[in-house]
Structure 1
Amino acid sequence: MKLKNKIVAFGATILFLSCATNPFTGKKTLALVPNSQIFPTAFAQYDQFLSENKVITGTKDANMVRTVGQKIAVAAERWLDANGYQGYLKDFRWEYNLVQDNTVNAWCMPGGKIVVYTGILPIADGEAGLAAIMGHEISHALVNHGQQRMSAAMLQQGGALAGNILIEDQKTLNIFNQSYGVGSNVLGILPFSRSHETEADEIGLYLMAIAGYEPMEAANLWRRMSAQSGGGAPPEFLSTHPSNESRIRNIEANAARAKAEAKKFGVTSFKG
C-alpha cells in the first residue's frame, strides 16, 4: 500500500474508533482524548487556579452561585437519568466558586469545575440570569465540548502534517502552508466553536427550565450582554461565538420547548 493510502486509511480508522455520543442530541462527537485523561488534568488546573485567585465564600452572592450551580447539576442528572444515561456523571466532581475578578466571564472545566467572576454578576442581574450563565457553561462540560475542541485541534494539526507529506510539488506545498491555517480556522475551527456555543445555549435553556428558572431570562441576559459590549464584537464568521442577536433569536425560538420539557419533570412554575 502506498504511503498516501496508508495515511488516509490510518486517519479514517482513528476517527472511527475515537467517537463518543452526545446524550442530549444523539450525535457522534470527536473524542480523540479520553475523559480519563482530561478530567484529572482539569481538576489539578482548577485547584491551582483557586489557589492563585481570591475565592469569595460565605456571602450572599457566593451562596447564590453555589445554590444555582447545584440546581442546574441536579436538573442535568434528572434529565440524563430519565433518558437512559444513568451514571453519566459518575466521574464529575462538582464545584461552584465565586472569584473576585472584574472580568465579565464564567466557565466550567471538564468534570464540573465551575468559576463565576464577580464581574458578570451585575449583568446576570439576579438568580435567573445567573442560571442562564451557569446552565450554558455546565452544558459545555456535559457534552464534552472541551474534549471535542482538543480533538479538532489535533485534527487540524494532523491535516497540516498530512498535507506536507502528501503534497510533493513545492509550489503547491507553499500555497497550502500559506492558506491552510487561515482556511482551516475560518471554515473549520470557528464554525465548530460557534456550533458549540449554540448547542450550550439550547441545552442550558432546558436545564435552567428543569431547575425552575424562566428560560426567557436567558434572552434578557444576552440583551444586557449586548448593551454592555457596546457593539464592538467582530463579524460572526470571524468569531468563536454567535452574535448576540443570533443567540437571542435562538433562545426565543426554544424557550417554549424548554418549558414543555420541564413540565415532564413536574416543573410548572418558573422563577424570573
Structure 2
Amino acid sequence: MKRIASIIFLFFWVPAVSMAQNGGLVEAGKAALAAATLTNSQVASYSKQAVQQMDAKYPIAGPGDPYTQRLNRIVSRHRTVGGIPINYKVYKTRDVNAFATADGSVRVFQGLMDIMTDQEILAVIGHEIGHVVNKDSHDAMKSALWRTAGINALASTSGAVGRLSRSQLSGVADYLLGAKHSRDQETEADDYSYQFLKRNGYSVIPLATSFEKLAKQGGGGQVPQFLSTHPNSQARAARIRSRARSEGLGR
C-alpha cells in the first residue's frame, strides 16, 4: 500500500495543473486527504456501490437457475467467512473469472464454473475471500477510488460517505474487476485458501488443480481474465502440491 506522503504528492502534483485552471487546488487537497484517511467502513460502502454497478452490467443467474443452485450447494457451509458475511452471485457470462470485494460480495462467472469441479470452485472462492480477509480488497478499492475524478466527494464536512456518480462507479467497478495484486498478496491468498480447505475438512489438492486448469486456459491464445490477474499458475500449483505432500495431504 502506498505511503500517505506518496498519495498526497500524487493528488497535489499530478492533477494540480488541470485543477488550477478551474481554481481547484483546494479540492485537490481535499481529495488527497480523503483518499489518505478512508476508513474500512467507507471502503466497504463504496465496494458495495461498485458491486451494484457490476451487478447491473452483467446478467445474473436467478434463484432457480442451475448455476445458482450449484453455487449455493458449494457454499452452503460458508455464508460467513472470517467473521465477514458473504453474499454470492453467478454472472451468466462465459468469461473465466471470479472476484470478491471488501463488502463481502463474491461473484463467480459461468465460464469459470463450466471448467471446474465443485471443490475447485470452492478453492478459488477461498482464494478470493483470502484477499478480503487480508485487506487486499480494501487496498484495491482505495486505489480505485484514488483514480476517480470525483474522489473529493469523500471530503464532505459531515464525514458521511457520499454516492459516486454512475460514470465514476463504472470506473471504480472496471478497475476492481481487473485489479492485480502483488506476488506476496497472491501467495498469502493461496495460503488462506489452503488453510480454509484444510480447516473445513476438504482436500487441498483442488486448489492446485484449479490453477493447473487456468494455466491450460491461457495456453490457447487469449488469456482468460481471471488468469491475467493471477499469473504464474503452474508455479503456484506446484507449490501447493509440494506443501500438501510435506503435510501428508496429497501426492
Same fold per superposition (TM over 0.5): yes
**Residue 73 of structure 1, CA deviation:** 4.7
Q: Report the secondary structure of 2:90's partner residue.
A: strand
TM-score (norm 2): 0.61
Q: Give the CA deviation at 1:152.
A: 7.3
Q: Aligned pairs, how many?
A: 184
2:68 maps to 1:62: yes
More helix by share: 1
Matched to 2:97, the amino acid is N
- In the TM superposition, what is the alpha-carbon distance from 1:33 to its structure 2 partner? 3.3
Give me the whole-angstrom Cα distance separating, in 1, the residues matched to 2:145 and 2:109: 30
Q: CA deviation at 1:251?
A: 1.1
Q: Shift of the alpha carbon at 1:206?
A: 1.2
Indicate yes or no: 2:143 matched with 1:143: no
Shift of the alpha carbon at 1:64? 2.4
Tell me the CA shift for residue 108 of structure 1.
0.5
Structure 1 residues 38-187: aligned runs within 5 Å? 38-56=43-61, 57-74=63-80, 76-77=81-82, 89=83, 92-124=84-116, 126-149=117-140
Q: Is the 8 A contact 2:79 2:87 kept in 1?
A: no
AA matched with 1:203: Y
Q: TM-score, normalised by structure 1?
A: 0.57
Contact preservation (8 Å) 2:43, 2:141: no
The Cα offsets for residues 8-44 of structure 1, whole Å up to 9 and x where unpaired, read as xx849x9xxxxxxxxxxxxxxxx96321110011112
Instruction: Decide whether the 8 Å contact of 1:72 with 1:135 is kept in 2.
Output: no
Q: Deviations over 1:209-230 (max 9, x none)?
A: 3233211111111111111111
Structure 1 unaligned spans of 5+: 1-9, 15-30, 78-88, 156-188, 261-269
How many angstroms apart in 2 are the aligned matches of 1:233 and 1:195? 26
Measured against aligned partners, the alpha-carbon deviations of 1:159-205 in whole angstroms (never above 9, x if no partner) come to xxxxxxxxxxxxxxxxxxxxxxxxxxxxxx98x61211111111011
The aligned counterpart of 1:248 is 237
Instruction: Report if the CA contact (8 A) 2:47-2:141 is conserved.
Output: no
> Which shifted more, 130-139 or 218-227?
218-227
In the alignment, the residues of structure 2 paired with residue 11 and residue 147 of structure 1 have an alpha-carbon distance, to the nearest angstrom, of 19
Paired residues of 1:216 and 1:255 also in contact (CA < 8 A): yes
* Alignment partner of 1:196 is 2:185: yes
Report Cα offsets for 1:47-66 as digits up to 9, x if no partner. 22223321113233212223
The percentage of counterpart residues that share the same residue type is 24
**Considering only CA atoms, is the larger Rg found in Structure 1 or Structure 2?**
1
Q: Distance in 2 between matches of 1:144 and 1:214?
A: 26
Q: Are the equivalent residues in 2 in contact too, given 1:107–1:137 (CA < 8 A)?
A: yes
Alignment of 1:218 with 2:224, yes or no, is no
**Aligned-residue RMSD, C-alpha:** 3.5
